[in-house]
Chain A
Amino acid sequence: MADEPVLGPGQTYASVTDKIASIVQTRRTPTWWIVGFGVTFAMVMMLMYALTYLFLSGVGIWGIQVPVAWGFAIVNFVWWIGIGHAGTLISAFLLLLRQKWRTSINRFAEAMTLFAVACAGMFPLVHMGRPWVGYWIFPYPDTMKLWPNFRSPLVWDAFAVSTYATVSLLFWYVGLVPDMATLRDRAIARPAKMIYGILAMGWRGSASHWHRHETASLLLAGLATPLVLSVHTIVSFDFAYGIVPGWHSTIFPPFFVAGAIYAGFAMVLTLAIPVRALFGLEDLITKKHLDNMGKVLLATGLIVGYGYIFEAFIAWYSVNKYERYMMINRAFGPYAYLYWLLILCNLVVPQFLWFRKVRSSVWGLFAVAMFVNLGMWLERFVIVIVSLSRDFMPSAWGLFHATRWDFAVLFGSIGLFLMLVFLFIRVLPMISIFEVRVLVSKEDQKAIEQ
């Protein structure tokens, strides 16, 4: 498997251009796309309905109550942000490491990041009791001379997530400009020519422009990599800064970042596997790509598993009765079934990835990825809700019971994410065309040398 190619055989500049661009321009819209878009659009409508009722009636329609004041909303926020991180890692970090296998998945993964961050970003806003004053979290000169509390992780979150969304969008767009030129030159209908032309900004492929473009991509990659680490670290501080047992833990920053990459790669696999089969892209997203993504999934899963094991160990080793009870409550308390399901999904199932047979089977990888998607959501649930439901004082204990509106907003956000993915694959090239051409030229050079 070490020398399996990252590009199918016999590709030319024209063939890869056509293969990718024709999905957007020449091929008929597949029926499955129309059905999929319709279903996800309906889910978005459900989301809109749920959010409208939320704004009219207040957060009481959800199952939150003291002491569990943070329910599904924050779980969903952390889950979506985490999913977004894999896209940036593939685009940015793998570029710095000069890994060729990032080429055919990075456009797609970066788009996934943008949509995940969009879904994540609405939760801090809607979970507020008074979302109409949500802008107070940003520093602006106001008549009362008030400022947000810059020492609070929640304010850091506002800056971190805004920066992350902006940088991801800029990075993604920079990579898109040359491909917009390709679509502009290929388009026949005048509206398409104009729209792609505007997005291409007049790109003509000049050598000095490419030089600056490559420099910009490397710089952005170098900026985005520490950004990814910092954003989920700051999100972990939302919990680690609190004194709640199960939250106040120094392992949270690396644990959350590893978990984010874990969740994100699972989502990339969940999307890439069907898309490559439905559009016939096996020559561009090869078995090597799936194998590598499986390995990353396994590695980050082991780090997350280490986190679970050490949380339990430190809880015992600390002799702190509150820490110890926190672990006992997780394993045997009212939400124990979710904790053990979490261990199954995140710790046990990914061990199948040790076996090459599983990593090279699309169904096997897809199944493991789905388990991890669920497992990572459960992990956020266990951290947020289970820890809050039973902290220091038994008289303050209380349970969280999800309502239909909790599930409506959760599945609505999944619908929003998927709808955006459907739109993206229909109107924009989901694989970076010019970067695949570079792979073709390297293959050609190797062939000449041989």
Chain B
Amino acid sequence: MIKDDAIYGLMAEFGTPEELLEATKRTHEAGYRRIDAFSPFPIDGLSHAVGFHHTRLPLIVLCAGIIGGCSGFFLQYYAAVISFPLNIGGRPLDSWPAFVPITFELTILFAAAATVFGMLGLNGLPTPYHPVFNVPRFALASRDRFFLCIMSEDPKFELDATWKFMETLNAREVCEIDL
């Protein structure tokens, strides 16, 4: 009797995006929840099929943009009004129209930085090691093959039953993922 938690999970390989999408949907319908699908390009509906519905990234970017804008404006306001006010022909110190370009640029800068680092952070990248790379043919996931993985930490996972289920998915090959 092989212990189920000695492996990361089971991997099935497919030849087309349609096969992967179909298989992922059936796996989700069968009650598996800790699943992941891998492809060399984004496939419509696939993230939905693995159970991923909502990303917090846009909210993070919006907050960062607002912080950037406020920072930019406050920097200029502080310099012109509080720190070193200069009387230039009696013109107003808090000349907000003149402060707009830098405020705008810093909004974009902070928002863009949050987009990139937020995306990487939410994705958990950089990931120096991941068990799926132990599957030799997984190198083709970045080329022209499509993979579906059911993780052993899924409550419904049971090595023999899950293996038999995956064999019904019309995959080219099913194999174990070593930890």
Interface residues of A (CB under 8 A from B): 12-14, 17, 139, 145-147, 150-151, 153, 155-156, 159-160, 162-163, 166-167, 170-171, 173-174, 177-178, 181-182, 184-186, 198, 201-216, 219-220, 223-224, 226-227, 230, 234, 237, 434-435, 437-438, 441, 444
> Is the CB–CB distance between A234 and B101 below 8 Å?
yes
Given A202-B127, A212-B57, is A207 in contact with B43 using a C-beta cutoff of 8 Å?
A: yes
Contact partners of B89 in chain A: CB under 8 A:
none
Selected A-B contacts with CB under 8 Å, 5 pairs:
A139-B75, A151-B95, A212-B57, A212-B122, A223-B112
State which of A12, A204, A212, A435 has its C-beta within 8 Å of the C-beta of B141: A204
Contact partners of A215 in chain B: CB under 8 A:
55, 57-58, 119
For chain B, the count of residues having a C-beta within 8 Å of the partner chain is 61
> Is the CB–CB distance between B47 and A210 below 8 Å?
yes
> Is the CB–CB distance between A230 and B95 below 8 Å?
no
CB distance from B27 to the nearest CB of A (A): 12
> Is the CB–CB distance between B108 and A201 below 8 Å?
no
B90 adjacent to chain A (CB < 8 Å):
no
Annotate B73-114 by CB proximity to A: 1 below 8 A, 0 otherwise.
001100110011000000000010011011011101101110
> Is the CB–CB distance between A167 and B109 below 8 Å?
yes
Contact partners of A220 in chain B: CB under 8 A:
112, 115-116
> Is the CB–CB distance between B144 and A208 below 8 Å?
no
> Is the CB–CB distance between A204 and B108 below 8 Å?
no
CB distance from A186 to the nearest CB of B (A): 7
> Is the CB–CB distance between A216 and B143 below 8 Å?
no
Apart from A202-B129, A223-B115: 8 A-B pairs, beta carbons within 8 A? A171-B116, A174-B115, A201-B125, A203-B125, A212-B119, A214-B42, A216-B116, A224-B112
Which of B1-9, B33-41, B154-162, B167-175 binds A? B33-41
Contact partners of B69 in chain A: CB under 8 A:
none
> Is the CB–CB distance between A147 and B42 below 8 Å?
no
Given A139-B75, A145-B83, A201-B125, is A186 in contact with B143 using a C-beta cutoff of 8 Å?
A: yes
> Is the CB–CB distance between A206 and B37 below 8 Å?
yes
State which of B61, B102, B120, B127 has its C-beta within 8 Å of the C-beta of A159: B102
In Å, the complex CA distance between A153 and B101 comes to 9
Contact partners of B140 in chain A: CB under 8 A:
185
Contact partners of A177 in chain B: CB under 8 A:
125
Q: With CB as the reference atom, state the residue of chain B lying closest to A151.
A: B98
Contact partners of A153 in chain B: CB under 8 A:
101
Given A219-B57, A230-B101, is A438 in contact with B47 using a C-beta cutoff of 8 Å?
A: no
In Å, the complex CA distance between A237 and B104 comes to 15
State which of A13, A146, A163 has its C-beta within 8 Å of the C-beta of B105: A163
